[in-house]
Amino acid sequence: MGGPASSIAGHSNASKPLEERVSATGEAPQHRFQGAGGTSGGIGEFLIGLAMVVVGVYLFLQQVTVSTGFWILWGYNAFGLSLIPLLVGIGWLFFDGRSGIGWLLVVLGALIIFAGILTNLQVYFRPTSLFNTIIMLGLLAGGLGLVARSLRPH
Protein backbone atom coordinates (compact mmCIF):
# COMPACT_ATOMS: atom_id res chain seq x y z
CA MET A 1 0.00 0.00 0.00
CA GLY A 2 1.29 3.41 -0.78
CA GLY A 3 0.64 6.47 -2.85
CA PRO A 4 -2.44 8.68 -2.94
CA ALA A 5 -4.96 5.86 -2.63
CA SER A 6 -3.86 4.95 0.92
CA SER A 7 -3.98 8.56 2.16
CA ILE A 8 -7.45 9.06 0.68
CA ALA A 9 -8.70 5.86 2.29
CA GLY A 10 -7.78 7.30 5.70
CA HIS A 11 -4.84 5.07 6.51
CA SER A 12 -2.02 6.58 8.53
CA ASN A 13 1.02 7.25 6.39
CA ALA A 14 3.21 9.07 8.93
CA SER A 15 5.77 6.27 8.97
CA LYS A 16 6.26 6.32 5.20
CA PRO A 17 8.96 8.32 3.37
CA LEU A 18 8.07 11.86 2.25
CA GLU A 19 7.91 10.78 -1.38
CA GLU A 20 5.05 8.42 -0.53
CA ARG A 21 3.23 10.91 1.74
CA VAL A 22 1.66 13.11 -0.89
CA SER A 23 -1.94 14.19 -0.96
CA ALA A 24 -4.40 13.45 -3.74
CA THR A 25 -3.37 16.73 -5.40
CA GLY A 26 0.28 15.64 -5.49
CA GLU A 27 1.50 18.14 -2.85
CA ALA A 28 3.62 17.24 0.15
CA PRO A 29 1.91 17.71 3.54
CA GLN A 30 2.48 21.03 5.32
CA HIS A 31 4.18 20.80 8.72
CA ARG A 32 2.66 23.12 11.30
CA PHE A 33 5.03 24.87 13.75
CA GLN A 34 4.39 23.75 17.32
CA GLY A 35 4.64 26.15 20.25
CA ALA A 36 6.13 25.53 23.68
CA GLY A 37 5.73 21.97 24.92
CA GLY A 38 4.42 20.76 21.54
CA THR A 39 1.14 22.63 22.01
CA SER A 40 -0.29 25.59 20.15
CA GLY A 41 0.71 27.83 23.08
CA GLY A 42 2.91 30.85 22.68
CA ILE A 43 6.67 30.48 22.41
CA GLY A 44 7.02 34.19 23.25
CA GLU A 45 5.15 33.72 26.54
CA PHE A 46 7.41 30.80 27.37
CA LEU A 47 10.62 32.75 26.72
CA ILE A 48 9.45 35.85 28.64
CA GLY A 49 8.29 33.66 31.53
CA LEU A 50 11.57 31.77 31.56
CA ALA A 51 13.53 35.04 31.63
CA MET A 52 11.38 36.28 34.53
CA VAL A 53 11.97 33.05 36.47
CA VAL A 54 15.72 33.22 35.90
CA VAL A 55 15.92 36.87 37.03
CA GLY A 56 13.68 36.23 40.05
CA VAL A 57 15.68 33.19 41.19
CA TYR A 58 18.96 35.07 40.66
CA LEU A 59 17.83 38.06 42.72
CA PHE A 60 16.43 35.79 45.44
CA LEU A 61 19.62 33.73 45.70
CA GLN A 62 21.71 36.90 45.91
CA GLN A 63 20.02 37.57 49.27
CA VAL A 64 20.87 34.14 50.70
CA THR A 65 23.97 33.64 52.83
CA VAL A 66 25.23 30.13 53.49
CA SER A 67 27.70 29.40 56.27
CA THR A 68 28.70 26.39 58.29
CA GLY A 69 28.91 25.65 61.97
CA PHE A 70 31.00 23.27 64.00
CA TRP A 71 30.54 19.51 63.91
CA ILE A 72 29.39 19.07 67.49
CA LEU A 73 28.57 15.63 68.90
CA TRP A 74 27.84 15.40 72.66
CA GLY A 75 29.60 18.72 73.20
CA TYR A 76 32.80 17.84 71.32
CA ASN A 77 34.10 18.60 67.84
CA ALA A 78 33.18 15.46 65.88
CA PHE A 79 34.84 16.02 62.49
CA GLY A 80 37.76 13.75 63.37
CA LEU A 81 35.37 10.90 64.19
CA SER A 82 33.80 11.19 60.74
CA LEU A 83 37.22 10.57 59.15
CA ILE A 84 37.77 7.19 60.87
CA PRO A 85 35.75 4.97 58.46
CA LEU A 86 37.24 6.76 55.43
CA LEU A 87 40.83 6.42 56.61
CA VAL A 88 40.42 2.78 57.69
CA GLY A 89 38.85 2.02 54.29
CA ILE A 90 41.69 3.72 52.42
CA GLY A 91 44.25 1.79 54.46
CA TRP A 92 42.39 -1.47 53.82
CA LEU A 93 42.31 -0.75 50.06
CA PHE A 94 46.06 -0.15 50.03
CA PHE A 95 46.45 -3.57 51.67
CA ASP A 96 43.92 -5.33 49.37
CA GLY A 97 42.53 -3.27 46.47
CA ARG A 98 39.77 -5.79 45.74
CA SER A 99 38.39 -5.84 49.27
CA GLY A 100 34.65 -5.27 49.43
CA ILE A 101 34.90 -4.20 53.06
CA GLY A 102 37.55 -1.59 52.16
CA TRP A 103 35.37 -0.13 49.41
CA LEU A 104 32.35 -0.18 51.72
CA LEU A 105 34.27 1.76 54.39
CA VAL A 106 35.51 4.34 51.86
CA VAL A 107 32.01 4.92 50.46
CA LEU A 108 30.47 4.97 53.94
CA GLY A 109 33.11 7.42 55.19
CA ALA A 110 32.60 9.72 52.20
CA LEU A 111 28.82 9.63 52.74
CA ILE A 112 29.23 10.45 56.44
CA ILE A 113 31.43 13.45 55.60
CA PHE A 114 29.01 14.65 52.88
CA ALA A 115 26.01 14.26 55.22
CA GLY A 116 27.90 16.08 57.97
CA ILE A 117 28.61 19.01 55.69
CA LEU A 118 24.97 19.23 54.61
CA THR A 119 23.55 18.96 58.13
CA ASN A 120 25.85 21.67 59.47
CA LEU A 121 25.01 24.27 56.83
CA GLN A 122 23.25 27.37 58.06
CA VAL A 123 21.20 29.26 55.50
CA TYR A 124 20.19 32.89 56.15
CA PHE A 125 18.09 35.33 54.16
CA ARG A 126 19.89 38.68 54.38
CA PRO A 127 17.80 41.68 55.37
CA THR A 128 16.34 43.53 52.41
CA SER A 129 13.48 45.94 51.80
CA LEU A 130 9.92 44.75 51.33
CA PHE A 131 9.95 46.27 47.84
CA ASN A 132 12.96 44.15 46.79
CA THR A 133 11.36 41.02 48.26
CA ILE A 134 8.11 41.66 46.36
CA ILE A 135 10.06 42.24 43.12
CA MET A 136 12.05 39.00 43.57
CA LEU A 137 9.08 36.81 44.44
CA GLY A 138 6.78 38.59 41.97
CA LEU A 139 9.18 37.91 39.08
CA LEU A 140 9.42 34.28 40.16
CA ALA A 141 5.65 33.74 40.52
CA GLY A 142 4.75 35.71 37.38
CA GLY A 143 7.37 33.89 35.33
CA LEU A 144 6.15 30.49 36.51
CA GLY A 145 2.60 31.54 35.61
CA LEU A 146 3.63 32.59 32.10
CA VAL A 147 5.60 29.38 31.54
CA ALA A 148 2.61 27.30 32.67
CA ARG A 149 0.24 29.36 30.46
CA SER A 150 2.49 28.91 27.42
CA LEU A 151 2.34 25.13 27.79
CA ARG A 152 -1.46 25.15 27.45
CA PRO A 153 -3.01 25.14 23.99
CA HIS A 154 -4.69 28.48 23.22
Residue 33 lies in a domain: no
- Domains in the chain, number: 3
Regarding whether 97 and 83 lie in a shared domain, the answer is yes
Predicted pLDDT of residue 7? 47
Look at 16-25, 50-59, 91-100, 135-144 and tell me which has the smallest mean pLDDT.
Answer: 16-25
Report residue 20: phi and psi, to 5°: -90, -15
Percent of all residues in the chain with a pLDDT value above 90, rounded to a whole number: 43
Which residue range forms the structural domain that includes residue 2? 1-27
Residue 58 lies in a domain: yes
pLDDT, tens digit (0-9, with 9 covering 90-100), for 35-76: 665 666 678 888 999 999 999 999 999 999 988 877 776 777
pLDDT of 10 higher than 60:
no
Regarding whether 58 and 75 lie in a shared domain, the answer is no
Regarding whether 109 and 86 lie in a shared domain, the answer is yes
